């Protein structure tokens, strides 16, 4: 690949003009670009030249790019186009303006649990959408979580990680470590990965965003990878209420781990329980890029910014000290010298521009240093009579108003009392005492005034009206009634939406439940159809799923039979499955061990495999005829069999054996040898 400076200005695919480099990595360079056909800002990712010769990568890249381009979700970065230019593969992506989570963390800023829960829910929603379409990311990390200008999170680089993983290129030292910091245990062990792999990596990413530490990180890549196999997410006080949700998302065993949809639901429920998060301290990078033509899309849709690529947009500033009448000619600058340390012309700030000189024939009013205006227009002096005319008119208006007020004082002597907030009976009495006539103008619901209370009055209190004048009152019907919707079978998010649509306020709590699925409503505080009012709080209990259980310690060492083990696990709401295996140490029919092993805590209703002994394994009796006693004993010992000898004291060779040669017997069986 040519140098970055040589790429700027180049047109890719006949339509994408590269404007500036905004990021670089081990496998790609990223440029801000203009789509000259649609007139919008995009990001173009040029992949490593070494990938161009890898037929396996190119085939996989095209398939993955096509699949990634089909994704259309508010939390997934859009892939607009893909192809190759001079044999170099490229992707055309959204251009975002808020930087990445990695760039935010690199500034030393950490997220609060509220902020982490909010962006984690957005990322999990994007992952769940992709997972439903059969696409696993495989490389979730802070650098792949991007923000737009409004702080909305989008997941980037879907499909690219899988294509790169199967490429023949060897990336520079250090790039694997970035991914290893967030790799799941199944990736470490070389097992097949699925959608829950992304959930594990997202949990580690959120952990780091709050604590500033990547869990399980060791001094070497191998130490980092092996530390998380079979391990539990370490607790951290900074996580607060976020800790149990992340712990469920980072369980070492994939089958026991939350999937992306449930993870998103859990984070949303947590966000509703916590205070609203502060706005994200986004790490924006301002690029001095040429503007788009007027009328086209000026909203950037992605930035792959890095600290080293940020530029400052130059501003035009006029000198504040030069008087307007003194024009300062712009300085004459020598032509820019382009060299190894000279910024390109697009990055050189333009000269400071002074105000233009005064135009001939135009009179200016210039303040004197310590006096009145130095000069006034002549036509201003011709109309000095105008203020006098205005003063006369003003006096006439004041006099007329005085006459009106005086007449009202003479003829209207009743002051309207304040009746808002009073009950209608008390309001009627107060108005009649003031010589006024009360009248009910209508009724409506009110959240502030109780039933039968006065909500409004006309004329308002303090006005003076003629005796007997009518005062109209709006009467409250009390709070607006509503109907509590049925919430059975709804998720927490669905229940929240239904209650808020009914003008009710949900108050969520969680509890373990053996019969209701995780994240689904268990109960709410009133029977369906009960009459409630706007603004009432509804207590809603959300299921945390079955309670976790600890596998009994006596499920090993031949203590229990299969029947006893099955009963013990069923009582704990676990699902036992029998698996037979040979054992020399445990008698047939008794439990050898279990998986997960005894003492481990697993989610309720988990499947537990119980290994039951079949007794010792079978072996075949060797052919011993005519062998010496020593040779026969050695042959029997090597396959785990015992022996007994019959014959005269001087006999030393085998003449017969029981069981016969080739017979299948269990290890430990005694073979009788007859000697001659």
**Alpha-carbon span 132 to 467, nearest angstrom:** 76
Is the previous residue joined to 596 through a cis bond, with omega within 30 degrees of 0?
yes
**Alpha-carbon span 281 to 458, nearest angstrom:** 50
Count Cα atoms within 13 angstroms, Cβ side, for 303. 26
Active-site choice (35, 139, 148, 198):
139
Going by the DSSP 8-state scheme, the letter that residue 520 receives in this structure is B
Contact residues for 328 (Cβ-Cβ < 8 A; gap 6+) = 319, 322, 354
β-sheet bridge partners, residue 319: none
Active site residue 106: no
Q: What's the token pair of residue 466? A: 């003629």
User: Are 232 and 246 a contacting pair, CB within 8 Å?
Assistant: no
User: Are 169 and 53 a contacting pair, CB within 8 Å?
Assistant: no
β-sheet bridge partners, residue 444: 476
**Alpha-carbon span 197 to 185, nearest angstrom:** 8
**Alpha-carbon span 346 to 352, nearest angstrom:** 16
**Alpha-carbon span 577 to 591, nearest angstrom:** 12
Residue entry with tokens 């010298």: 337
Using CA of residue 622, residue 626, residue 632, residue 638, what is the dihedral sign?
A: negative
Beta strands 505-511 and 537-543 are parallel
Going by the DSSP 8-state scheme, the letter that residue 232 receives in this structure is P
Count Cα atoms within 13 angstroms, Cβ side, for 466. 5
Q: What's the token pair of residue 559? A: 């203590």
CA distances from 164 to 26, 575, 604 (A): 11, 40, 38
Q: What's the token pair of residue 76? A: 């997934």
Q: What's the token pair of residue 600? A: 């481990």
Q: What's the token pair of residue 314? A: 């130059």
Q: What's the CA dihedral at 589, 592, 597, 602 to 10 degrees?
A: 0
Maximum CA extent, the chain: 157
β-sheet bridge partners, residue 318: none
Please list the active-site residues.
Answer: 139
């Amino acid at each position: 690949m040519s140098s970055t400076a040589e790429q700027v200005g180049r047109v890719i695919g006949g339509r994408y003009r590269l404007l500036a480099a905004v990021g670089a990595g081990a496998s790609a360079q990223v440029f801000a670009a203009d789509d000259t056909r649609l007139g919008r800002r995009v990001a173009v990712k040029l992949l490593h030249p070494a990938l161009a010769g890898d037929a396996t990568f190119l085939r996989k890249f095209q398939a993955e790019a096509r699949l990634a381009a089909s994704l259309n979700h508010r939390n997934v970065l859009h892939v607009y186009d893909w192809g190759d230019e001079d044999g170099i593969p490229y992707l055309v992506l959204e251009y975002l303006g808020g930087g990445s989570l990695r760039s935010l963390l690199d500034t030393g800023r950490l997220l609060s649990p509220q902020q982490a829960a909010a962006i984690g829910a957005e990322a999990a929603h994007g992952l769940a959408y992709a997972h439903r379409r059969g696409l696993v990311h495989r490389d979730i990390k802070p650098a792949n979580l991007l923000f737009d200008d409004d702080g909305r999170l989008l997941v980037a680089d879907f499909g690219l990680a899988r294509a790169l993983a199967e490429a023949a290129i060897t990336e520079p030292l250090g790039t694997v470590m970035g991914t290893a910091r967030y790799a799941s245990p199944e990736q470490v062990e070389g097992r097949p990965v699925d959608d829950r792999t992304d959930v594990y990596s997202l949990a580690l990413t959120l952990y780091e965003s709050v604590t500033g530490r990547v869990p399980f990180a060791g001094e070497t890549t191998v130490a980092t990878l092996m530390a998380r196999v079979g391990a539990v997410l370490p607790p951290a006080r900074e996580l607060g209420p976020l800790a149990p949700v992340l712990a469920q998302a980072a369980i070492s065993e994939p089958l026991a781990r939350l999937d992306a949809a449930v993870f998103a639901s859990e984070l949303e429920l947590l966000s509703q329980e916590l205070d609203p998060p502060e706005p994200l301290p986004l790490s924006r990078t301002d690029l001095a890029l040429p503007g788009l033509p007027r009328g086209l899309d000026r909203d950037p849709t992605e930035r792959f910014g890095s600290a080293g690529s940020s530029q400052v947009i130059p501003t035009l500033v006029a000198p504040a000290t030069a008087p307007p009448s003194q024009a300062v000619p712009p300085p004459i600058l020598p032509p820019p010298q382009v060299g190894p340390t000279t910024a390109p012309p697009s990055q050189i700030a333009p000269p400071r521009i002074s105000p233009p000189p005064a135009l001939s024939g135009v009179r200016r009013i210039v303040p004197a240093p310590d006096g009145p205006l130095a000069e006034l227009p002549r036509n201003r002096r011709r109309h000095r009579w105008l203020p006098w005319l205005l003063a006369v008119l003003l006096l006439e208006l004041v006099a007329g108003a005085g006459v009106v007020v005086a007449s009202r004082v003479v003829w209207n002597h009743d002051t309207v009392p304040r009746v808002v907030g009073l009950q209608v009976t008390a309001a009627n009495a107060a108005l009649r005492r003031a010589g006024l006539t009360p009248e009910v103008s209508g009724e409506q619901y009110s959240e502030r005034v109780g039933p039968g209370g006065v909500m409004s009055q006309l004329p308002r209190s303090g006005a003076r009206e003629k005796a007997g004048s009518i005062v109209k009152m709006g009467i409250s019907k009390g709070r607006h009634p509503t109907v509590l919707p049925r919430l059975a079978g709804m998720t927490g998010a669905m229940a929240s939406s239904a209650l808020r649509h009914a003008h009710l306020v949900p108050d969520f709590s969680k509890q373990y439940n053996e019969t209701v699925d995780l994240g689904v409503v268990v109960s709410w505080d009133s029977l369906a159809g009960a009459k409630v009012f706007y603004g009432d709080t509804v207590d809603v209990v959300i299921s945390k799923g079955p309670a976790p259980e600890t596998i009994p310690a006596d499920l090993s060492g031949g203590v229990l039979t299969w029947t006893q083990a099955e009963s013990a696990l069923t009582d704990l709401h676990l699902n036992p499955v029998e698996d037979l295996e040979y054992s020399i140490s445990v008698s047939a029919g008794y439990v050898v061990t279990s998986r997960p092993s005894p003492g481990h805590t697993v989610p309720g209703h988990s499947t537990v495999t119980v290994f039951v002994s079949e007794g010792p394994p079978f072996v075949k009796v060797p052919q011993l005829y005519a062998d010496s006693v020593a040779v026969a004993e050695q042959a029997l010992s090597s396959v785990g069999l015992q022996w007994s000898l019959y014959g005269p004291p001087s006999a030393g060779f085998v003449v017969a054996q029981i069981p016969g040669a080739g017979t299948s017997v269990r290890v430990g069986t005694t073979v009788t040898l007859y000697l001659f």
